[in-house]
Structure 1
Amino acid sequence: MRSTGRLFATFAVASLVPVVALGAVVLQDYSRDAAEQGRAQGLSQAEVIAQMVVAPALNSGESSVTGGDDLSRRGLSAEQHDRMREATRLAVYNGSVQHLRLRGFSGRVIFSDDGSSSSGVPVSDPDFQAAANGERRARVITGRTQTIRVMQPMIAGATGQSVGVVEVYLPYQKIADRLQQQIETTWWRIGGGLALLYVVLATLAWLTTRSLRRYAADQRYNALHDALTGLPNRTAFRVWGQERLDQAVRDGGYGAMVLVDLNRFKEVNDTLGHHAGDELLREVSARFRAALGPDDILARLGGDEFALLMPGRDRAEAVALLEQARDRLTEEMVLDGVPLSIEASFGIALYPEHGHQLEELKQRADVAMYQGKRGTMDIVVYSGEQAAQPHQWLVVQAELRHALERDELILHYQPKVGVHDGTVRALEALVRWQHPQRGLVPPGDFLPAAEHSGLIVPLTEWVLRRALADQLGWTASGQPWAVSVNVSARNLEVAGFADLVAALLAEHGTAPDRLMLEVTETALAGDAETLVKSISELTALGVGISVDDFGAGYTSLAHLRGFPAAEIKIDRAFVKDVTHDPQSRAIVRSVIALAHGLGSRVTAEGVETAEVYRWLIDAGCDEAQGYLIGRPVPWPQVSPDFLVPVIDLAPVIDSEEVAR
């Protein structure tokens, strides 16, 4: 505001100077023209006097002056002198002439209206010399009164030759007054016009400055706010948020940094269209704002991601406020006639407990938020033991890229057997990392880092290629085992994944029904449309799909309806307790019944005791997998001898138990 005022003042002063200068130049030019006009009028009047007064007197009588005579030599006759006096007296009396002299070329005064013989203008004067040479000159002489002095060559006779110089002094005051009046009139007109021009320019400048001020304000606002929701954007949040954090450091303050991500927002865009998604974001923003306090900063970072900075709120206050915001957020809304209830995941980092730099707090809030997405809690406070995880992931991702290039990854296989006969049905490929310094690295130490980057795509391709190659080896040795490979939701979301699988099957000459792709239950809660499309393409090839870790996630039964699952694997958390926990037994029996009702076979994971194995036979489970049957080892170590303990369990179970 102040800068634009200075800009306008600068423009006003800068524009005033040329306007005034223009007025001065115009006035000066007009004054010069007026003076020139006065001199021209004096010359004309002197010409008339010379022709009408002096010339007739010189040309009268017998001694008339002829061209070429120099009045300095011959002078005037008495008659000519009298006629000159008479004519001059009349001119002086009428006020048209103040003073008149007739002079010869030598400067001699031949006639003077007052009878004086003073020489007047010196002969050396440029005006006299010019008149002696036939050129007229006029000059304004200032004094008590203004006078025009005209030096006029005196032409006598018909020859047109000069015989002397007429020195005439004409009254100029009336002319000057009239010119002054004209100048003043012109000045007022020019001044008024220039003043009006200045007012117009100043008005335009003011309007332009105000428009620029508004434009600058709009640009500044747009640069710092999200166009869709009107909330501060990522840039504004970074600047304003860090200012609040710096102030908290100075004042010993505290607060909470929160990242918010809407769940299944993409489904709204894909199902109802982007206009509905935009309307949803506006409604979510309004509900968030209504739930927050005046000191809280809410920003949209992009897409369906929001950020909150809540100064002066401790852990309990932050969680309580977010619970209120969540309840308000989940209230049903209607978009395009469709009732919706939106949910969100909240990650909280506290300051100064978890840091005092904005990016540091955002990173830790992001870790907490994704921990919530992977679990069952939608509001998660960052826990200190995860502090090194984001940094460690960056290191792991960098090293894993080199591991793929150097072929440091290996596959171990764990068998799945039919519970009734103990025969091996398939081997599950489990990736391991033979690190040159740390030795054999388990998948839990590097797969999460791969899943949070694009590395999971080439990693899965490597596992598929190696597993199919190993399968050729055990097939050649007479073992017709299928192979199971784990894939993530990211793999299924990549365009052309089914084509990649088809190409690898063709490359190794493997029948599609000898490959099983295992998808975790939590992956099914992602982008349903994309997953269904990808899985439909895979099943069309003949590849089997397995739902892994069933019961550990939060998939609703609606996800299984119409899902072409060839296998459902019960999570080990339920299997290990079936011999002593009634609830686990009820859950496992229900899953078995559900899977069979859907036309899927059931595999129990984490089978580690003979008692659990016997119970699974009694419950009607189809297959089993676990340490009782075999630990993950390279495939050449998987042999019938390795499975003897499981086969030996068969005689313990009578035929009636098996029937049940």
Structure 2
Amino acid sequence: MTYAAASLVPVMVLGAVMWQGYRRDASEQGRRQGLAQARVIAEMAVTPSLDGADLEDGLTTSQLEGLRRATELAVFHGSVLRLRVRGFAGQVVFSDDGATGGGLAVSDPDFRAATTGASRVKVIGGPGHEVIRVVQPLVAGASGQALGVLELYLPFQGIAAQMREQLNGVTRRIALGLAALYLVLALLAWWTTRSLSRYAARQEYNATHDMLTGLPNRAEYRDRAEAVLAAAGRDGGHGAVVLLDLNRFKEVNDTLGHHAGDELLRVVADRMRAGLAEGDVLARLGGDEFALLLPGRDAARTVALLERLRTSVAEELVLDGVPLNMEASFGIALYPEHGLDLQTLKVRADAAMYQGKRGAEDIVVFAGGAAGHPHQWLKVQAELRHALERDELVLWYQPKVGLPGAGINGVEALVRWQHPERGLLPPCEFLPAAEHSGLIAPLTEWVLRRALIDQAGWTATGQDWTLSVNVSARNLDAPGFVGYVTALLAETGARPDRLMLEVTETALAGDADNAVRAVKELGALGVGISVDDFGTGYTSLSHLRGLPISEIKIDRAFVADVDADPQSQAIVRSVIELAHGLGSRVTAEGVETVEIHRWLVDAGCDEAQGYLYGRPVPWPQVAVEPIAEPITERTAR
């Protein structure tokens, strides 16, 4: 409407300009018409009557009579209002009313122009009384000699009426044309405004939404979440920030193509959106990563909702004729318990999600502590890369003892970082960053090489200890890992049966085909395979059938209270019995008391590891005979 109103102004100005132009043209046409009429009168009536006359001497009676007869009809019919023939000096030698005076002053520019051979025409008089005054030279027709000046006054009313009629017609045409033009401009303005509004709306939508799924994007999620968190800070509200991503999404892209991956993301987004309530926010942050904002929900209600979403996401769908069941990992950070800053909540939700990926649960609530998030890992990764180059890493070893005697059977290599500024760092400070980058490969290779060199050292002193080294799922998944281990054993001269590689049960669960293949190839070499932290992942002994598993290590969570808790006792006894049935040895982790030691001996556990037997130290400091004798005596009594 504003544009249409504004466009009316130039249209009206254009109309006024055109109307003034046509009015000037009409006036000019009237002057030209008067001039033509005056020329006809001069040539047809006046000049023939003055043939041979000298106006300075005056006119003869016959000349005056001839002029009167020649002009009488024009004056009588009113086509001429006043007619004067004047000499160059200004004297009136003939007037239609017989007067010898009056008329245009000699000093008038129009009169002077006529004396020099130029004609002048002008409309004079007030409105309604206009007349046309023509002043032009009189020239003899035969000789072409200038005789004098003709001052002629013609009626303007007829011309004015003709002009008005013509101008009215023109005005109507201009008005209709301008009205049509304005209508076209108004329609164009309306159409353009609507198009621009729709375009602006699309641009605004595209700037705040993911084009693939139609969900809010990262920027829109941040704006909404920050507004909700700000309100929660003022009003004491609570809720949850949830991050999730799809498990094995890359396999879909790599196997079926990105078009199938895009369709999968659309389906998952629709399924999750259908399970949310009004006020909940679901956004796609990028790739297969999504975020949820759940105002007003505590931990229990959030977990219950995510369990329903997980079930919905896991429903079978068919992509390119291939049936799929997708799984997702969810990390939850609660506000205000875990913070009111969105960045902090996202860091902690992300940490919980990655904890779930490494453990047994798909839905994990942040449990406190330091959140090792990728944005913090960037600095650690950069420093760790330099640490490998500068040889800042060191290996410590913790003894593993045989039961019941508690004599050392082997040692587990545990990496430490002698940081130049922060001092000696435990693995939890840098291993998560390495596991989520390409650094885990060179780090594991460094640990293996240094540990095998150290093993050669203690073997030379007469200690035939088995060496245990932790490797990650990413190591097993790397195509050249088995070849590297083979070459390193040959290079160091180490016996394969004196090397034990510890892997988490998560690395062997599900569809980890590469990891399973690597375990089988390593077992064929004679290298022992140990399943570390058993009981904390989402596998079971059934997953281990057919694999060359030499050892199963019971997680310290079940060992810490096994001497007093019946449930822990039942779990540990079951694991020992089933592991023995599969032909594997059993090692208990985290043994710290003599009572737990005696209980494990009674339960038939093969080996143990913990502070009771020794803490991690450089290998020359590992006790040759720790507290084996006192423990043996107490157990016997």
* TM-score, structure 1 as length reference: 0.79
Structure 2 letter corresponding to 1:159: S
Task: For 1:500-649, list aligned pairs within 5 A.
Answer: 517-525=501-509, 528=512, 531=515, 546-555=530-539, 560=544, 565=548, 567-572=550-555, 581=569, 584-594=572-582, 596=583, 602=585, 604=587, 606=589, 632-636=616-620
1:372 and 1:378 in contact (8 A); partners too: yes
Whether 1:100 and 2:83 are equivalent positions in the alignment is yes
- CA distance, structure 2, for counterparts of residue 148 and residue 392 of structure 1: 94
Q: Which residue of 1 aligns with 2:58?
A: 75
Whether 1:116 and 2:99 are equivalent positions in the alignment is yes
- CA distance, structure 2, for counterparts of residue 435 and residue 606 of structure 1: 28
Q: What percentage of aligned pairs have identical amino acids?
A: 59
Q: Which residue of 2 aligns with 1:255?
A: 239
Q: Which residue of 1 aligns with 2:176?
A: 192
Q: Which residue of 2 aligns with 1:357?
A: 341
Structure 1 stretch 262-271 or stretch 298-307: which is displaced more?
A: 262-271
- CA distance, structure 2, for counterparts of residue 492 and residue 195 of structure 1: 81
State the shift of 1:213 in Å: 0.7
Whether 1:135 and 2:118 are equivalent positions in the alignment is yes
Q: Cα–Cα, structure 1 residues 44 and 446, in superposed 2: closer, same or farther, change >3 Å?
A: closer
- CA distance, structure 2, for counterparts of residue 417 and residue 319 of structure 1: 42
- CA distance, structure 1, for counterparts of residue 193 and residue 404 of structure 2: 88
Secondary structure at the counterpart of residue 169 of structure 1: strand
1:30 to 4, 13, 22: 22
Whether 1:12 and 2:29 are equivalent positions in the alignment is no
Q: Cα–Cα, structure 1 residues 22 and 510, in superposed 2: closer, same or farther, change >3 Å?
A: farther
Q: Which residue of 2 aligns with 1:224?
A: 208
Structure 1 letter corresponding to 2:50: L
Task: For 1:21-420, list aligned pairs within 5 A.
Answer: 21-59=13-51, 64-65=52-53, 69=54, 71=55, 73-143=56-126, 144-383=128-367, 385-386=368-369, 397=380, 401=384, 404=388, 407-414=391-398
Secondary structure at the counterpart of residue 353 of structure 1: coil
- CA distance, structure 2, for counterparts of residue 274 and residue 572 of structure 1: 40
Q: Cα–Cα, structure 1 residues 525 and 213, in superposed 2: closer, same or farther, change >3 Å?
A: farther
Q: Cα–Cα, structure 1 residues 130 and 495, in superposed 2: closer, same or farther, change >3 Å?
A: farther
2:280 and 2:295 in contact (8 A); partners too: yes
Partner deviation per Cα, 1:270-309 (whole Å, 9 max, x = no partner): 4444444333333333332333221222222233333222
Structure 1 stretch 486-495 or stretch 110-119: which is displaced more?
A: 486-495
Kindly tell me the number of residue pairs found equivalent between the two proteins. Answer: 622
2:528 and 2:549 in contact (8 A); partners too: yes
- CA distance, structure 2, for counterparts of residue 188 and residue 164 of structure 1: 45
Secondary structure at the counterpart of residue 167 of structure 1: strand
Aligned-residue Cα RMSD (Å) equals: 4.4
1:266 and 1:527 in contact (8 A); partners too: no
* TM-score, structure 2 as length reference: 0.82
Structure 1 letter corresponding to 2:26: A
Partner deviation per Cα, 1:9-55 (whole Å, 9 max, x = no partner): 1x334433333333333332222222222222221111111110001
- CA distance, structure 1, for counterparts of residue 297 and residue 555 of structure 2: 41
Secondary structure at the counterpart of residue 93 of structure 2: strand
Q: Cα–Cα, structure 1 residues 465 and 96, in superposed 2: closer, same or farther, change >3 Å?
A: farther
Secondary structure at the counterpart of residue 386 of structure 1: coil
State the shift of 1:514 in Å: 7.7
Partner deviation per Cα, 1:569-590 (whole Å, 9 max, x = no partner): 3335578969994653443332
- CA distance, structure 2, for counterparts of residue 432 and residue 228 of structure 1: 45
Partner deviation per Cα, 1:371-402 (whole Å, 9 max, x = no partner): 4444434433333x426776997699389637
Structure 1 stretch 220-229 or stretch 373-382: which is displaced more?
A: 373-382
Partner deviation per Cα, 1:529-548 (whole Å, 9 max, x = no partner): 56468778988999776543
Structure 1 letter corresponding to 2:572: S
- CA distance, structure 2, for counterparts of residue 118 and residue 410 of structure 1: 133
State the shift of 1:208 in Å: 1.3
State the shift of 1:242 in Å: 1.7
Q: Cα–Cα, structure 1 residues 481 and 587, in superposed 2: closer, same or farther, change >3 Å?
A: closer
2:330 and 2:353 in contact (8 A); partners too: yes
Which segments of 5 or more consecutive residues in structure 2 lack a partner in the other structure? none
State the shift of 1:472 in Å: 5.6
State the shift of 1:85 in Å: 0.5
1:485 to 469, 488, 491: 469
1:397 and 1:455 in contact (8 A); partners too: no
Structure 1 letter corresponding to 2:40: V
- CA distance, structure 2, for counterparts of residue 161 and residue 502 of structure 1: 131
- CA distance, structure 2, for counterparts of residue 152 and residue 328 of structure 1: 104
State the shift of 1:520 in Å: 1.5
Secondary structure at the counterpart of residue 135 of structure 1: coil
Secondary structure at the counterpart of residue 467 of structure 1: helix
Q: Cα–Cα, structure 1 residues 214 and 41, in superposed 2: closer, same or farther, change >3 Å?
A: same
Q: Cα–Cα, structure 1 residues 122 and 317, in superposed 2: closer, same or farther, change >3 Å?
A: same
